[in-house]
Chains A and B, each alone.
Chain A
Amino acid sequence: MNPVKIGVAFVASALGLVLPWRARILYSEWLGRVANLVPPRFYRVRPDAGIEPR
């Protein structure tokens, strides 16, 4: 469990929750631009999350 990841995601998600729909869409696009700056390995789900396609 990575508390930094969880904290960043919680704040970012909480803001998304309260924005009106058009603003939320623009906000998500802006997050995408910021995400471009983050190395892909940080997007991976932790290996023990048990994700397997059915």
Chain B
Amino acid sequence: MPASNPADRVALLFSGGSDSTLAAVRAAERFPEVHLLTYERYGMTDVQNSDTHVARLRERFGADRFVRPPIANVDRLFRHVSYEGYLGDVRKHGFMVLTTCGLCKLAFHLRTVVYCHDAGVGNVWDGSNKAMVIFPEQMIEVLDMFRAMYTDAGIRYENPVFQYDDEQGIEFGSSLWGLGPARAERQVSAKRTTGDELYELGILPARVIKGTPYDKRIQGRCYQMVLFNLWARWYYLERHDMARYRREVEAFYAEKVGRARKLVQEFAADPSGSRLRRLVEA
């Protein structure tokens, strides 16, 4: 049933994987209208795979509960976020500019701000999870920066599956090409995962799907994490500890999100003539 009030609508950043699918389930339990947003850019492939779980969600909750806009391209936004002030960022933060996954997610969030304005949506959710600790965009410190950015646009931002355990945890990405041992270790220690919930709801065919052939069929693929992981795991974390890594990520993203917030504030003041609108529509 379509909602008339922005507070009754939620936009969900939806990859189609188990974390964002469970977030969609929780969203459907709380909001009358759920907008499932999937983005693409150069370097991402098979993003239309996310349609698989859209169909499963519609079967379970009803087709009219989910709005599925066309998959939007964010190439220009991603380039802007990644390379605005690049030389200064390299000078000040060094290899932190290679944290592509966090910068890509920041571009997604900026695009989502514009979507919410245009579609009259007052809430944004995503599938961020505490276990993905190396990824800046899933660190609580950075998530809180995103929250402040959304507040600038009058939008409430939440992470409904953040506290779930994960059967892969920190090994995700580190063992992308040899998931077996890492998954087995994590399965033993994980208490309650998003996969458990989706399996019990009848949405997933198995409790553990991450890294499996099924997982590859339900979401897009992207290899920019490889360079980022190589730097983070083989270079940075060989030399420093995680506490320092978190501090340096926080310092870099404080500047990056700070610049993004300026874009959002300009957009809030002048939605049609702002730089953010131009970056989205180009």
Using a CB–CB cutoff of 8 Å, the interface residues on chain A facing chain B are: 1-2, 5-6, 8-10, 12-13, 16-17, 21-22, 24-25, 27-29, 31-32, 35-36, 38-40, 43-46, 48-54
- B210-233 contact mask (Cβ, 8 Å, vs A): 1 or 0: 000000000000011111111101
Q: Is B174 a contact partner of A9 (Cβ separation < 8 A)?
A: no
Chain B residues with CB under 8 Å of A13's CB are 95, 98, 227, 230-231, 235
Interface centre among A5, A6, A43 (most CB of B within 10 A): A43
Distance of A51 Cα from B134 Cα, bound (Å): 9
- Do B79 and A50 have beta carbons less than 8 Å apart? no
Q: Is the CB of B242 within 8 A of A6?
A: no
Across the interface, A43 reaches (CB within 8 A) one of B98, B133, B175, B224, namely B175
* B interface list, Cβ under 8 A from A: 42-43, 79, 82-83, 90, 95, 97-98, 100, 130-131, 133-134, 140, 169-171, 174-179, 181-182, 223-231, 233-235, 237-239, 241-243
* Contact indicator A25/B42 (Cβ below 8 Å): yes
Partner of B223, one of A10, A29, A51: A29
Rank and list the top 7 A-B pairs by shortest CB-CB distance, nearest first: A40-B178, A9-B234, A9-B235, A25-B43, A28-B227, A43-B174, A13-B231
Q: A28-B223, A32-B226, A53-B133 are in contact. Are A45 and B140 (CB under 8 A)?
A: no
Cα A44 to Cα B168 with chains together (Å): 12
Bound-complex Cα distance A50 to B245 (A):
10
Question: A54–B249 Cα gap in the complex (Å)?
Answer: 15
Chain A residue, CB-CB nearest to B165: A53
In the complex the two chains form, what is the Cα distance from A38 to B226 in whole Å? 13
User: A24 touching B227 by the CB < 8 A rule?
Assistant: yes
A12-B175 contact given A21-B79, A32-B223, A53-B130, CB 8 Å threshold: no
Nearest B residue to A18, CB-CB: B90
Please give me the residue from chain B that is nearest to A40 by CB atom: B178
- Report A-chain residues with C-beta under 8 Å of the C-beta of B95: 13, 17
Residues of A within 8 A of B171 (CB): 44
With contacts A13-B95, A29-B226 taken as known, whether A45 is within 8 angstroms of B237 at the C-beta atoms is yes
Q: How far does the alpha carbon of A49 sit from the alpha carbon of B132 in the complex, in Å?
A: 15
Cβ contacts under 8 Å, A9 to chain B? 230-231, 233-235, 238
Known: A51-B242, A53-B130, A53-B170. A35 touches B235 (CB 8 A): no
Q: Mind listing 7 A-B residue pairs with CB under 8 Å?
A: A21-B83, A27-B227, A40-B182, A43-B229, A44-B174, A49-B241, A52-B133
